[in-house]
Chain A
C-alpha cells in the first residue's frame, strides 16, 4: 500500500468539500445585493424624516412615547468596561422602562460587526458608537440612517462644531485627542518638545514611542500636514530611531515608569487619568503643538428595529448628565468644558477621509517607521 491517495478519492473529497461550502453560502448570496439595492427610505429613516418636521417639544414627546412602546435597545459602545457600564446605567436610570442590551468593543470591531450582521440580513444592532474616521466602510455600504436632531445644534459648544456632520449621519458626543506627552522626570523643564517636528530632533533620538499603525492618528497627521509635509515628517520620525510598540495604555505605563521619554502619538487622557489618581505621576501633555481631534459618534442602523429608542439614546448622549460624566472620565466632552485641555489650544478636528489618504498614510508609515528591520 503506497502513501499516495488515489486521484478519484481526492476528487471525491474535493467535490464533497466544495459542494458543502457552496451549499452553505449560495442560498444567501442574494442578500448583500438586496441590502444594497434598497435606495428608498427604510421605516426608521422615514420616522426620522418625519420627526425632523416637528417642533422640539412635540418631537421629544413622540420619541419618548415610541421608545416606551419599543421597550428595548441593542447597541455597541466603543467605551470599555466600567466606563461604558456606568454611562449606560445613567441612561437606564433615566428611562427605566427600557430593556438595554449592550456590548462594548473597539470602534473598528464594532463597524465590522454591524457590517457582518447587516450583510447577512440580521438586524441585530440598533446603535453603534464609533470613532468618526472608522465610519468609512459602513457609510460606503449605506448602512447608516440619517438622523437630523436639534441637540447637535443646541448642545454642542461652538469650538466643537467641527466634529458635527452637516449631513446628519452621526451624532458626535465626545472626542479623543492625539497629542504629545512626556515623562517630566526624564525630560527636563524647558527641553520638552514644543511641536510635532521637534520629535525629529537629535536629542529625542531613540526616546519617542509610537504604535505600529494607529490609522486614526495617521490620517489626522496626513490631513493636518498635507501629503508632502506628512511624508517628510514620517520619514524623519523613522530616521530618529522610534520606539514602535503596540498598546497605547501600555506605552503610557512604560513611559511613566521611565522606560522612555516621550509619547509621539497617544491619547492624552491616559496621562491625565493617572495624574488625577496620583498628582506625582511624572507625565505632562504638550499643548503648544496642534492636537488632533477625532470625533466619537453615535450612528443609527438604518434597519434598526427600535428607531425611537435609538433616537432617544443618541439625543441623551448630548444631555448634560452624559456630558459631565464624559468630562469627569477624561474623555473629551463636546457640550461642557474639557477636563484638561486649556482653552485656546489649537485643535485640528477631522473625520471621514478619502481612501487614498488612508492608504497612503498607512503605506508611508509602514515604509518609513514600522519597516521590518
Chain B
C-alpha cells in the first residue's frame, strides 16, 4: 500500500503538472479565475481566523501580526470541561435536529414533488413562505406557545387535564423541535430539486415487476436521491452547528451551551476574546471537513446517480390511490404546525400592547398600534428593505452562477485538483457568521479597497457565507446529469460554453431555482454579518428587525413579521405562476 502511494506520488504530480501546462482554453481560464476568487473569498478570511486562533494578542495589538504563534487558546479551550460539554451538546443537538428535520422534510418533498397528493402545491408554497419569517420571531413564538407557566399549550393542557406545564420548550427536545421545524423548508428545497430530476422509467420498471409504491420508494427512489439526501443531511448538520437563535434564547434556560453560544458569549464581553472564539471556529471547521469527507466518499461513484440522460427525461408523479388523502392530511397538518402555528401566534401578539395569554383582558387590549408604529417612519424602514432586496437578488444570482461553474468542474470534468474547488467553496460553511463578519471588516479596513459602508462588502461576505449551501443544492442536481450529454455535445462539435449554457444550465433548472431562492431569502434576512458590517448607508431590513427586538418591541416585531410573511407569500405565489408560464411547466 505504501509502495503504491509512494510510486503514485510523482506520477500524479507529473499528470497534474502536464494537465495544467497544456491545452489552455476557456474552461481552464474560468477554473483559474474560480480558484483565485475562492482563495480571496474563503482562504483569506479563514486564514485570518486560523491566525487568530494561534495568537494570544488581540487584533489591534502590536504583537498580533508578529510571527510568534502559540497553542495557548487551544490549551485553554480544550483543557476545560466546558469545551467538551459544548462539543457533546453541539453534536447531540445537531444529530437530533438533523434527524427530525430530514425525516419531516424528506416526507414533504416526496409528497409535494413526486405524488399526486391533493393540495400539495399549497403545502409547498406555505412551506417555502415560512423561510422568510426571521428565526428570532419563530423562536420567541414557540417560547410563547410551549414555555412553562405562560405557554399557550400548557394553558390548554391545564384546562383539559388539570396538569400544569406538560410542555417545556426550555429543554433539549424543545430546542430540537423548534430548530428542526425551522430547517424543514431547507430540507424540502434541497430534496425537491432531486425528486424533480428523478428518472420515472426506473420507478415504472420497478412497478411493472410487481413492486408496490412503498417498495419502489425504498428500493429505487430513495437510493437515487442519495446525493441530495447526503447533501441535505450534511447541510442540516452543519447549519445546526452554526445556528444561534434557538441555543441563545432557549439554551441558557435549558442549561445547554453549544459552540455557537460559546462564541457569542466570548465575542460579547469586553474586550472580545477573539482567540478563544477563533479556536471554537476551528473546531467547527474540523467537524465540517470530516463531514464533507464522509459525504464525498458517499457519492464517490457519482455515475450511479445519473438519472438525466440523453434518452428522454420526463418526471412523472406517482399515483397514490386512496392513500393520497392520507398524505394530503398529514402534510397539511405538518405545514400547519411548521408555518401556521407560529404565524398565528405572531398574528395574535402583533395586536397586543404587552404580551398576555389569550383572555378577555388580552382581547380588550388589542389594537393596530404596532402596525401604525411600523409605518410611522417609512423612510427608515424602506431604505433598509430596498438594501436587503438588492443584496438578496444580487447575492443569489452571483452565488448561483459561481457554484454552477464549480459544480460543473467538480462533477463533470477530470481536471486534476478540481476537488479542491469543492473543499474551498464548502469550507466556509464552518465559519461562524460573527467571526466571518469580523474577518471581512478587519480585512477591508486593512486593505485599501473602498467598500466599507457599502452593500458590496456585505455582498462579498454573503458570497462566502452562502456558497457552501448553494453548492450542495446544485451539486446534487449536477451529479444526476449523465456525462453522455456532454460527450454527445463534444462529438457534435458543440463548444464548451454553448454546452454549459444550453444543456447543463437548463437541465439544472430545478436545483438552480431552489438554490437561488434559498440564497435570496437567507441573504434577505441574514443578521449577524449585516450587523457587523452595517453603517448608515448599507443597513439592511434584518438589522432593523434586530433593533426592534433589542428595543423590546416583540409585539411590533411580530407586526413586521406578519407583513413580510404576507408579502412573501404573494411573491412566492406570483413566482410560481411565472415559472409555470415560462419555466419548468414541462415537469408537471
Question: Interface stretch among A96-104, A221-229, A331-339?
Answer: A96-104
Please, how many angstroms separate the alpha-carbon atoms of A345 and B154 in the complex? Answer: 40
A21, CB-defined interface residue at 8 Å: yes
Residues of B within 8 A of A270 (CB): 552
A71, CB-defined interface residue at 8 Å: no
Query: A25 and B65: CB pair below 8 A?
Result: yes
Residues of B within 8 A of A104 (CB): 547
- A207 and chain B: residue at smallest CB distance: B149
Residues of A within 8 A of B253 (CB): 243-245
Query: B269 and A213: CB pair below 8 A?
Result: yes
Residues of B within 8 A of A117 (CB): 445
Please, how many angstroms separate the alpha-carbon atoms of A215 and B265 in the complex? Answer: 10
Query: A258 and B445: CB pair below 8 A?
Result: no
Chain A stretch 300-353: residues in CB contact (< 8 A) with chain B: none
Please, how many angstroms separate the alpha-carbon atoms of A372 and B531 in the complex? Answer: 28
- A37 and chain B: residue at smallest CB distance: B62
Please, how many angstroms separate the alpha-carbon atoms of A319 and B86 in the complex? Answer: 49
* B156 to A: closest C-beta gap in Å: 16
Question: Interface stretch among A130-138, A169-177, A192-200?
Answer: A130-138
Chain A stretch 1-22: residues in CB contact (< 8 A) with chain B: 1-4, 6-9, 13, 16-18, 20-21
- B444 and chain A: residue at smallest CB distance: A120
Residues of A within 8 A of B249 (CB): 245-247, 250
Question: Interface stretch among B7-15, B466-474, B568-576?
Answer: B7-15
Interface string of B118-138 (1 = CB under 8 A from A): 000000000000000000000
B330, CB-defined interface residue at 8 Å: no
Please, how many angstroms separate the alpha-carbon atoms of A370 and B355 in the complex? Answer: 27
Query: B354 and A273: CB pair below 8 A?
Result: no
* A89 to B: closest C-beta gap in Å: 11
Please, how many angstroms separate the alpha-carbon atoms of A366 and B140 in the complex? Answer: 25
Asked, given contacts A105-B534, A137-B270, A257-B356, whether A8 binds B9 with beta carbons under 8 Å apart, the answer is yes
- B12 and chain A: residue at smallest CB distance: A6
A253, CB-defined interface residue at 8 Å: yes
Chain A stretch 266-318: residues in CB contact (< 8 A) with chain B: 270, 273-274, 277-278, 281
Asked, given contacts A7-B9, A108-B268, A249-B550, whether A2 binds B4 with beta carbons under 8 Å apart, the answer is yes
* B442 to A: closest C-beta gap in Å: 6
B186, CB-defined interface residue at 8 Å: no
Q: Which of B47, B82, B269, B445 contacts A362 (CB 8 A)?
A: B269
Interface string of A91-125 (1 = CB under 8 A from B): 00000000001111110110111011111101010
Residues of A within 8 A of B272 (CB): 108, 112
In this complex, how many residues of chain B approach chain A with their Cβ under 8 Å: the count is 79
Query: B59 and A119: CB pair below 8 A?
Result: yes
Query: B355 and A256: CB pair below 8 A?
Result: yes
Interface string of A70-82 (1 = CB under 8 A from B): 0000000000111
Residues of A within 8 A of B82 (CB): 366, 372
A153, CB-defined interface residue at 8 Å: no
* A170 to B: closest C-beta gap in Å: 15
Residues of A within 8 A of B39 (CB): 16-17, 20
B496, CB-defined interface residue at 8 Å: no
Among A33, A81, A133, A362, find the residue whose CB has the most chain B CB atoms closer than 10 A: A81
Query: A21 and B380: CB pair below 8 A?
Result: no
- B355 and chain A: residue at smallest CB distance: A257
Query: B43 and A21: CB pair below 8 A?
Result: yes
- A186 and chain B: residue at smallest CB distance: B149
Query: B547 and A134: CB pair below 8 A?
Result: no
* A99 to B: closest C-beta gap in Å: 11
B551, CB-defined interface residue at 8 Å: yes
Query: A259 and B140: CB pair below 8 A?
Result: no
Query: B44 and A20: CB pair below 8 A?
Result: yes
* B239 to A: closest C-beta gap in Å: 20
Residues of B within 8 A of A136 (CB): 270-271
Q: Which of B43, B269, B446 contacts A120 (CB 8 A)?
A: B446
Please, how many angstroms separate the alpha-carbon atoms of A115 and B271 in the complex? Answer: 11
Please, how many angstroms separate the alpha-carbon atoms of A122 and B150 in the complex? Answer: 50
Please, how many angstroms separate the alpha-carbon atoms of A355 and B540 in the complex? Answer: 36
Please, how many angstroms separate the alpha-carbon atoms of A215 and B256 in the complex? Answer: 20
B160, CB-defined interface residue at 8 Å: no
A146, CB-defined interface residue at 8 Å: no
Please, how many angstroms separate the alpha-carbon atoms of A120 and B452 in the complex? Answer: 13
Among B8, B47, B544, find the residue whose CB has the most chain A CB atoms closer than 10 A: B47
Residues of B within 8 A of A116 (CB): 59-60, 441-442, 445
Residues of A within 8 A of B5 (CB): 2, 4
Query: B353 and A277: CB pair below 8 A?
Result: yes
Query: B47 and A257: CB pair below 8 A?
Result: no
Please, how many angstroms separate the alpha-carbon atoms of A243 and B255 in the complex? Answer: 10
Query: B59 and A13: CB pair below 8 A?
Result: no
B536, CB-defined interface residue at 8 Å: yes
Query: A36 and B44: CB pair below 8 A?
Result: no
Query: A372 and B255: CB pair below 8 A?
Result: yes
- A366 and chain B: residue at smallest CB distance: B82
Q: Which of B40, B64, B144, B551 contacts A80 (CB 8 A)?
A: B551
B143, CB-defined interface residue at 8 Å: yes
Please, how many angstroms separate the alpha-carbon atoms of A321 and B486 in the complex? Answer: 73
A85, CB-defined interface residue at 8 Å: yes
Please, how many angstroms separate the alpha-carbon atoms of A267 and B148 in the complex? Answer: 24
Please, how many angstroms separate the alpha-carbon atoms of A256 and B355 in the complex? Answer: 8
Residues of A within 8 A of B365 (CB): 278
B167, CB-defined interface residue at 8 Å: no
Please, how many angstroms separate the alpha-carbon atoms of A85 and B539 in the complex? Answer: 14
A201, CB-defined interface residue at 8 Å: no
Query: B13 and A9: CB pair below 8 A?
Result: yes
Please, how many angstroms separate the alpha-carbon atoms of A247 and B550 in the complex? Answer: 8
- B300 and chain A: residue at smallest CB distance: A3
Chain B stretch 74-112: residues in CB contact (< 8 A) with chain A: 81-82, 85-86, 89
A83, CB-defined interface residue at 8 Å: yes
B326, CB-defined interface residue at 8 Å: no
Please, how many angstroms separate the alpha-carbon atoms of A82 and B85 in the complex? Answer: 41
* A331 to B: closest C-beta gap in Å: 12
A202, CB-defined interface residue at 8 Å: no
- A372 and chain B: residue at smallest CB distance: B85
Query: B357 and A257: CB pair below 8 A?
Result: yes
- B66 and chain A: residue at smallest CB distance: A29
A47, CB-defined interface residue at 8 Å: no
Chain A stretch 231-258: residues in CB contact (< 8 A) with chain B: 243-247, 249-250, 252-254, 256-258
Please, how many angstroms separate the alpha-carbon atoms of A108 and B269 in the complex? Answer: 7
Please, how many angstroms separate the alpha-carbon atoms of A3 and B298 in the complex? Answer: 13
Q: Which of B9, B144, B257 contacts A372 (CB 8 A)?
A: B257
A28, CB-defined interface residue at 8 Å: yes
* B544 to A: closest C-beta gap in Å: 8
Please, how many angstroms separate the alpha-carbon atoms of A118 and B445 in the complex? Answer: 9
Residues of B within 8 A of A20 (CB): 39-40, 43-44, 47
Residues of A within 8 A of B43 (CB): 17, 20-21
* A81 to B: closest C-beta gap in Å: 4
Interface string of B503-547 (1 = CB under 8 A from A): 000000000000000000000000000011011100100001001
Query: A249 and B536: CB pair below 8 A?
Result: no
B51, CB-defined interface residue at 8 Å: yes
Query: A17 and B143: CB pair below 8 A?
Result: no
- 9 other contacts beyond A24-B447, A29-B65, with CB at 8 A cut-off? A1-B12, A26-B65, A28-B446, A103-B539, A120-B445, A134-B270, A250-B249, A257-B357, A372-B82
Instruction: List 16 A–B pairs whose Cβ atoms lie within 8 Å, in order of A's numbering.
Output: A6-B8, A8-B13, A81-B547, A81-B551, A82-B551, A105-B531, A118-B60, A124-B452, A133-B270, A134-B270, A213-B269, A246-B248, A249-B550, A250-B249, A257-B150, A258-B357
The 5 closest A-B pairs by CB, nearest first: A373-B255, A249-B552, A120-B445, A21-B47, A119-B60
The chain A residues found within 8 Å of chain B, CB to CB, are: 1-4, 6-9, 13, 16-18, 20-21, 24-26, 28-29, 32-33, 36, 80-83, 85, 101-106, 108-109, 111-113, 115-120, 122, 124, 133-134, 136-137, 141, 212-213, 215, 243-247, 249-250, 252-254, 256-260, 270, 273-274, 277-278, 281, 358, 362, 366, 370, 372-373
